[in-house]
Amino acid sequence: MVFDEEAIEILEGKNFAYLATSMADGSPHVAPVWIDRSGDTILINTVPGRLKQKNVTRDPRVTISITQQKNPYRHLFIKGRVIEQTKDGALDHINRLSRKYLGKDYPWNDRNRIIIKIAPESAKILD
């Protein structure tokens, strides 16, 4: 298991993740995302064509920073790699994320979604 109890607490909390990816010209990109996990796999949900999705299709290396809302000086820092992009289950997944972050099903009619699956290579808590 890459994630210890503290990392899981941060991942399962209502905390935004900041997903860094690389642009075609090698410059860095970062975007806030909803996040959850399935075991040791990180899951995010997006729409094909977004910058982050195009970036990880070209270069699967990502870094994620998550700040714990209730203790904003505790961060989880994850390095990993996108291993799959799939439409399978993506609508159920965006509703699950929406219930986590908004407390209700996803309120926008936005059916063209995909799950991006990330295999973490390292996960560190930084205080």
| Cβ burial, residue 17 (10 Å; 0-12/13-18/19+) | buried
Least distance to a second copy, CB of residue 75, Å: 6
Nearer to a second copy, 5 or 27 (CB): 27
Alpha carbon distance 111, 108 (integer Å): 9
Told to check if 65 binds a second copy by CB under 8 A, we report yes
Least distance to a second copy, CB of residue 76, Å: 11
Say if CB 114 and CB 53 are below 8 A apart: yes
Least distance to a second copy, CB of residue 101, Å: 9
Say if CB 83 and CB 119 are below 8 A apart: yes
What is the contact surface with a second copy in residues (CB under 8 A)? Answer: 16, 18-22, 26-32, 59, 61-65, 67, 72, 75, 77, 79
